[in-house]
Amino acid sequence: MAKVLKFGGSSVATSESITKVKAIVEQSADNKFVVVSALGGVTDQLVKASAMAALGDENFKKELNEVEQRHLNVAKSLIKPQQQGHVLSELKVMLNELEDYLQSIARLRELTPKLQDYALSFGERMSAFLLSETIADAVLVDSRSIIKTDSTFGKANVNFEKTNALSSATLREVKGRAVLPGFIASDENGNTTTLGRGGSDYTAAILAAAIGASSVEIWTDVSGFMTADPRKVEKAYPIKHLSYSEVFELSNFGAKVIYPPTVHPLLADNIAMLIKNTFNPTADGTLVNANADDTPGSQAIKGISSIDEIALLTLHGVGMTGISGISQRLFGALAEAKVNVILISQASSEQSITFAIVPEHVEQAKQAIEHEFEVEIHHQTIGLKIETEMSIIAIVGENMKRMPGISGKLFNALGKNGVNVVAIAQGSSELNISTVVHRLNLRKALNVIHEAFFLSGYREVHLYIAGIGTVGGNLVQQIRQQRKNLMKNHHLKINVVGVMNSKKMLFDVQGINLDEVRDELERKGAPLNLSSFVQRIASVNLRNSIFVDCTASAEVADIYEKALQSFVSVVTANKIACSSSYERYQTLQSASRTRGVKFLYETNVGAGLPVIKTINELVLSGDKVTKLEAVLSGTLNFIFNTISEEISMSQAIRMAKEKGYSEPDPRVDLSGADVLRKILILSRECGYPLEKSDVEVSTFLPARCFDTPTVEMFFDEVQQLDADFEARRRALYAAGRRWRFVASLSEGKAKIGLQEVDAMHPFFNLQGSDNIITLHTERYSALPMVIKGAGAGAAVTAAGVFGDIIRVANI
């Protein structure tokens, strides 16, 4: 049986692409009927030229000249020289007629839909003529002679009875291949009409139904329908099969692959449609027929489409409750004003009806509603709310029917990423769930929905890293080393899109080169402004965003709340926020919960050891921590394990600083301030609302050591204590005991200080810079749970931060 092929867009934009069309058409004898649209972009030029002519703008001739040159150049490239005379002559006749027609419009200073339809018809007529002169055994047929419509110029309605009769009778007599211009038709009086922008697809479907074609092939510049718009969702991929119903829904809600009315003639006669790529003809494309894809493992959601810009109008008020006829009056008034309604959502309370329209119709809709409800609006029982800068997203799939959890997955994905849903609509057919979101969130929303339903082959998280020094530098290195493995084996892509140090900040939404992150920050970075940094994170609005703090800065810790409130997860090695006031600690926890994002700080205690996670799981499972003892300072443990007859206290402290175990200023560690923060955090995780002032602190160095103005003067003071520490160490060693700086929590009271432990104590054999935590709980009462391991060092701390990032990514 014969097939109908339609070519449009960039498929017929140049001589090279038309050569591809010729090859596709001539490869099969079944390709009997070819519908072609105007050369790519020509229709827009004709619209512009017509409008300019109607305004008396002589520049319409410039547009016309460009149209002329394009057609003549294509003809010269395609047609053999000995045949060019006839082709160029025919083109010049049509172009001269078009110029005369535009001159008439210029003299009239008027452009009615009827006049414009005729002007626009030249694009399709000239491209069809060119193609008919290129393809072997081709016969040019004027679509206006066989497709009959009413006189609704601009978007005419087809008279299928007359069209079918004329098409069948005319095309049956064609010997060879019939080439027809798409988009155009004529009314009963012979006036040229058009079928609406994109109407060439519709032409192909009309002809296929009229002649009983076996199938329709729509050849365009994409490989079929995609799971989402690839311009907005990079991970979108082609859909192999769709039902007519799914195509209709996707097309009505923004998918531009085919013109929505195309479906109707095909559906009536169950004619299959195949959408193919002219520039990649071997690609599968998308097959469309009456059957839903119910093969095992098929997706419930077949595609996501969107309308970028709509206005949302809400009629609301107590004057609507229990009053019959409100909907009829509302939509009757809109219909009379020729306002098309895209989406409707009504509250069950009957106090509001929300609907979406295109922005161009807002004013006429407003006037129509205000006129219809003039009395109610005057008495303030009914009001009208108008919201602009909105977008509609529709998820479509026949397999959604009777499948629970689809809506939950949709709204969970949006909510977790901070996308507010303004309105919802779903029909009882369960074929489409439509949501209205702010236009600013459209791209983000499309990506998170696509990721939720299609997995897209991988999940992507976007990192903003504060601090790329010791810990941050190690983290960047670990990400760089591990990212290929995460992508290959866990389908996780980690994209570092922002970095900062104490002086500069750098953003790149495409991803910063981790091999040269420090150099790029130095060369391209802007001066650091923390407020601007967090505002930029919020405004860029990337899905699955994580702010990672590898600093020890109080100022950086101050932006956590803003990040969380912007639906950005926070991972931090910085202890300042969680060890500040209990009220602030609670505020951050609350922001994390209410925004549905993560606030993780495992490395605040024990570097990479799973301490906080373990306590959280115990408490959540109903257990209670009754007692906690811990060595929490890798720095102090290293110092007390290192001092010996050969190495003095001051030397051991210097070694800890040189190895990166201590802070740049070792006084922070030796004062117990770091351990104080850690036991305070652990106490809070155990459920005790302690403040710093509640912790009993005993230091082992005199106050004068910490009052020194410089670090070097601090070392001078400690050096004077070396002999005393050595004498005490010898006595301790002789007694078979060792020093450990211990933090403890018992009955809700916390304290830190230096303790002597014997060989029977679990802390006695603690090596190097290791940490150890013993947890006594109601379940672990006889023997404590023990967590032990490396508790200091940039590499293990970075690994702990990396672990928290993976937990946020939830792989």
The 3-class SS string of 175-223 reads: CCEEEEECCEEECCCCCEEECCCCHHHHHHHHHHHHHCCCEEEEEECCC
The predicted model scores a pTM of 0.72
List, for residues 600-645, the tens digit of each pLDDT value. 999 999 888 999 999 999 999 999 999 999 999 888 999 999 999 9
Question: Which percentage of the chain shows pLDDT scores above 90?
Answer: 74
Distance, in Å, from the CA atom of 36 to the CA atom of 179, rounded to the nearest integer, reads 7
pLDDT of residue 558: 96
Q: What is the mean pLDDT of residues 466-478?
A: 95
List, for residues 525-558, the tens digit of each pLDDT value. 999 999 999 999 988 888 899 999 999 999 999 9
DSSP state of 638: H
Query: Among 41-50, 93-102, 451-460, 797-806, which stretch is predicted with the lowest mean pLDDT?
Result: 451-460
Which of 774, 780, 584, 766 has its CA nearest to residue 682? 774
DSSP string, 361-408: GHHHHHHHHHHHTHHHHHTTSSEEEEEEEEEEEEEE-GGGTT-TTHHH
pLDDT of residue 38: 79
Q: What is the mean pLDDT of residues 198-219?
A: 92
- Contact by Cβ (8 Å): 561, 591: yes
Residue 164 has pLDDT above 60, yes or no: yes
Residue written as tokens 């405004």?
A: 539
pLDDT of residue 61: 93
Distance, in Å, from the CA atom of 582 to the CA atom of 750, rounded to the nearest integer, reads 15
Count the Cβ atoms, other than its own, within 10 Å of residue 748.
Answer: 13
pLDDT of residue 208: 93
pLDDT of residue 654: 94
Residue 663 has pLDDT above 90, yes or no: no
pLDDT of residue 52: 94
DSSP state of 149: B
List, for residues 454-468, the tens digit of each pLDDT value. 865 678 899 999 999
pLDDT of residue 6: 92
Residues with active-site annotation: 678
Strands 383-396 and 432-438, how do they pair? antiparallel
Residue 506 has pLDDT above 80, yes or no: yes
pLDDT of residue 316: 95
Distance, in Å, from the CA atom of 21 to the CA atom of 90, rounded to the nearest integer, reads 22
pLDDT of residue 296: 63
Strands 432-438 and 459-466, how do they pair? unpaired
Scanning 686-782, the segments in alpha helix (DSSP H) are: 703-706, 711-719, 722-734
Helices 15-26 and 113-134: crossing angle in degrees, nearest 10, is 70
pLDDT of residue 457: 61
pLDDT of residue 455: 65
Residue 119 has pLDDT above 90, yes or no: yes
Quickly state the pLDDT bin for 9 (edges 50, 70, 90): confident
Looking at every residue in the chain, the average pLDDT score rounds to 92
Residue 662 has pLDDT above 70, yes or no: yes
Question: Which percentage of the chain shows pLDDT scores above 70?
Answer: 99
Distance, in Å, from the CA atom of 77 to the CA atom of 13, rounded to the nearest integer, reads 13
pLDDT of residue 297: 62
Who wins on pLDDT, 442 or 664?
442
List, for residues 723-755, the tens digit of each pLDDT value. 999 999 999 999 999 999 999 999 899 999 999
- Contact by Cβ (8 Å): 424, 391: no
Quickly state the pLDDT bin for 668 (edges 50, 70, 90): confident
pLDDT of residue 776: 95
Longest CA–CA span in the chain (Å) reads 117
List, for residues 102-113, the tens digit of each pLDDT value. 999 999 999 999
Q: What is the mean pLDDT of residues 342-354?
A: 87
98 membership: H or E segment, kind and range: helix 84-108
377 membership: H or E segment, kind and range: helix 374-378
List, for residues 240-288, the tens digit of each pLDDT value. 999 999 998 898 887 888 888 898 999 888 999 999 998 899 999 999 9
What is the rounded end-to-end Cα distance, in angstroms, of the chain? 51
Which of 476, 482, 485, 481 has its CA nearest to residue 521? 476
